[in-house]
Amino acid sequence: MKKNTSAAHPVDQVLPPMRMIVLALQHLLVMYSGAIAVPFIIGGALDLSQEQIAYLIQADLITCGIATLIQTVGFWRFGIRLPMMQGLTFAAISPVIAIASDPALLEIGGTAGLQAVYGAVIVSGLVAIAIAPLGRYIVRLFPPIVVGSVLTVIGLSLLPVAITYASGGYVSDAGAPKYAGIAFSVLAVIIALNVLGRGFLRNIAIFVGILLGIGMAALMGEVDFGGIGTDRVISVVTPFHFGAPTFHLVPILSMVLVIAITWVESVGDAMIVGEIVDRKPDARSISDLIRADGLSTVIGGVMNSFQYTAFSENVALVSITGVRSRWVVALAGVFLIAIGLSPVLAGFAASIPKAVVGGAGFMMFGTLVVVGIKTLRRVDFDSDFRNYIVIGLSVGMAMIAIVKPDFFAFMPGWSQVIFTSPVIMGALAAIVLNLALLGLHKGLEDSRFAQA
């Protein structure tokens, strides 16, 4: 047995139990705050109850775990079988809110908006599975100029959410000094740990900042744990909790675009992880990666969650620790499922004051803008002014939806999902302008940009 273990590639090795547990918990801590941020922000923006937000968080954690197991352990042609942690993409936040807030859907009543979201999410996952063999070609639609523009737009579109939360959210006394005090205290802790911290402590800076922010808010009487379900230790998330999914063309197209955007992140992370662990993905494994993302997204739509992609934070952790075993990350996925089964833990996460999330959001979403700018460094600005046009106008189109969401109110109702989503507006503008001005050939050699 020892001979076989030592002969195995480091990616496939199973480490001693206690070491596996500690390393898996570290992966969980690094991604936890980012994992719960998406359902928390969406639930708050849609004015869902604390209990409903807790349910979204619970569903997300369980599906995160399942998605991680599919990607790391794999079966048949699903999963790239590398140490890649899976989580909800931030790119889905704005489109989900736009779809769920569509006045035409709200007129139906109840949770019609969310039902349309989940229908669109399921279809987008099925589309990903169907065209996974072509994924490596589709990624060519997203050269650095498009990816950098979209990442920048995502960060810019989410910063107003962080600002709103930092002021207290949508409470009657929003803007009170206490909320700003909490938010900027959280931000100060995160900055301090990123600058002064080392190793693991630096990796969990956001997590620590949120914990300290909760403590500060509790001392000020700003934490309400009334929504924590203490009557059950374990609670199973049921499919279609908000009702049977409905299917509408424009929301479906919107979510298909979002999942196509996530492929770029997933493929990029896979290339980087492949370099780190000395197992570079080939064309077949990239298709398996996209197929797994699609399956996880379908499961997400069924289980009241959204779209899944690789978490870059955990890619960095693989590089820092040097631990290449995919089974460590798979165990972290098991832990996520276990935590997701606890309504107490999900309720606690839903009870986090919005000012705390707002403080962390400045760092998370601001960093997204910087990642976009960093990606754009690979664009040639010196010899081709057309690059300025693509980037400038894509950001400009996105800003319309951020600054004045009703700018295109004169357009048909079915199209409002597109025009009110800065991510979709920015992404469509970047893709169309890039194809029109630079051509698809421009991105052929850049389609593997993430290796840089």
Q: What is the pTM of this model?
A: 0.76
- Our CA angle for 41, 59, 341, nearest 5°, is 125
Helices (H) and strands (E) in the chain, counts: 20, 2
State the average pLDDT over residues 112-140.
89
* Residue 260 belongs to some domain of the structure: yes
Residue 2 lies in a domain: no
pLDDT digits (tens, 9 = 90+) for 28-45: 876 776 788 889 889 888
332-358 residue pLDDT tens: 999 999 888 887 777 776 677 888 888
Report pLDDT digits (tens) over 144-165: 888 788 878 888 888 888 898 8
> What pLDDT is stored for residue 313 in this prediction?
66
Q: Which residue has the higher pLDDT, 317 or 190?
A: 190
Q: In the predicted model, is pLDDT for residue 289 greater than 70?
A: yes
* pLDDT exceeds 60 at position 445: no
Looking at residue 134, what is its pLDDT? 84
pLDDT on residue 3: 41
Domain span including residue 369 = 9-451
Return the DSSP state at 441.
Answer: G
The SS3 assignment for 202 reads: helix
Contact 118, 303 (CB under 8 A): no
pLDDT-derived band of residue 1, with 50, 70 and 90 as boundaries? very low
Task: For residue 11, give both structure tokens.
Answer: 């990616």
Give mean pLDDT, residues 379-394: 89
Residue 382 lies in a domain: yes
Tokens of 25: 């918990």
Number of domains in the chain: 1
Are 346 and 152 in contact, with CB atoms under 8 Å apart? no
| pLDDT, mean over the chain | 83
171-221 pLDDT, tens per residue?
778 788 999 999 999 999 989 988 888 766 776 677 788 889 988 988 888
How far out from the chain centre does Cα 125 lie? 15
286 falls within a domain: yes
CB atoms within 10 A of CB 418: 20
| Highest mean pLDDT out of 21-25, 150-154, 209-213, 388-392 | 388-392
Establish if 227 belongs to a structural domain: yes
Predicted local confidence at residue 232, as pLDDT: 65
Burial (CB count within 10 angstroms: exposed 0-12, middle 13-18, buried 19+), residue 238: exposed
Percent of the chain's residues with pLDDT above 90: 29
Confidence (pLDDT) at 449? 40
Summarize the confidence of residues 105-134 as an average pLDDT: 91
* Residue position matching structure tokens 């106008």: 393
Tokens of 452: 């840089």
DSSP annotation string for 373-388: HHHHTTS--SS-THHH
Question: Residue 262: its pLDDT value, please?
Answer: 81
Q: What is the mean pLDDT of residues 379-396?
A: 89
Above 50 in pLDDT, residue 142? yes
Closest to 155 (Cα-Cα) out of 214, 210, 93: 93
pLDDT category of residue 443 using cuts at 50, 70 and 90? very low
Convert the pLDDT of each residue in 40-94 to its tens digit.
889 888 888 888 888 898 999 999 999 999 999 999 999 999 999 999 988 888 8
**Count, residues in the chain:** 452
Answer for the pair 346, 58: CB distance below 8 angstroms, yes or no.
Answer: yes
Separation CA 195–CA 38 (nearest Å): 26
**pLDDT tops 60 at residue 414:** yes
Considering the domain boundaries, does residue 413 fall inside one? yes
Residue 451, pLDDT > 70, answer no
Would you say 202 and 194 are in contact if contact means Cβ atoms under 8 Å apart? yes
**In angstroms, rounded to a whole number, what is the distance separating the alpha carbons of residues 398 and 372?**
14
Q: How far apart are CA 95 and CA 164, in angstroms?
A: 18
Tens of pLDDT, residues 352-376: 788 888 888 888 788 778 878 888 8
Dump the DSSP string for 141-201: G--HHHHHHHHHHHHHHHHHHHHHHHTTSSSTTTT-HHHHHHHHHHHHHHHHHHHH--HHH
Q: Are 260 and 252 in contact (CB under 8 A)?
A: no
Which of 27-41, 49-63, 270-284, 304-318 is the most confident on average? 49-63
Mean pLDDT confidence for 274-282: 82
Q: Is residue 1 part of a domain?
A: no
- Side-chain-facing half-sphere of 163: CA atoms under 13 Å: 8
User: Helix, strand, coil proportions of the chain in percent (round to 5)?
Assistant: 70, 0, 25
Confidence band (pLDDT; 50, 70, 90) for 117? very high
* Percent of the residues in the chain that have a pLDDT greater than 70, as a whole number: 89
Rounded CA separation 92/331 (Å): 26
Which whole number is the average pLDDT over 300-306? 94
What b-and-e string marks burial along 38-62, b requiring 16 or more CB atoms within 10 Å of the CB?
A: bbbbbbbbbebebebbbbbbbbbbb
Q: Identify whether 40 is part of a domain.
A: yes
Cα 364 to Cα 158: distance, rounded to the nearest angstrom: 9
pLDDT at 189: 92
Q: Which two tokens stand for residue 44?
A: 């708050």
Q: Mean pLDDT over residues 233-245, rounded?
A: 87
Assign 7 a pLDDT band (cuts: 50, 70, 90): low
Report the pLDDT value the prediction gives residue 185, as an integer from 0 to 100.
93
* 327: enclosing H helix or E strand: helix 326-340
